[in-house]
Amino acid sequence: MEPSETLNINSKIILNNNVEIPVLGLGTWQARGRSAKKAVRFALENGYRHIDTAYFYGNEREVGAAIQKSNIERENIYVTTKVWNDQQGYD
């Protein structure tokens, strides 16, 4: 994405591994239960392809269910997440 471009739902950025990812994404912080699922489904139905979540949010099940019900090919949806430092490492 060039600095002079207008940001929109289709704007993408190229990561260091040459993967393009949508710049805009739905944040799911504080979205719980049914409302989380509905928000993700609505976002996907309206063109979003980037969903941001985190282990701490506790809504992975709802986010996953909404993605599954969307019937959008999984390779066309980007899910970004975060983990706390104490959750990093090896098993």
Q: Which of 55, 57, 78, 90 is catalytic?
A: 57
Q: Establish whether 57 is a catalytic residue.
A: yes
CA 56 – CA 34 distance, rounded (Å) = 18
CB 78 within 8 A of CB 51: yes
CB 50 within 8 A of CB 78: yes
CB 58 within 8 A of CB 30: no
Q: Which residues are catalytic?
A: 57
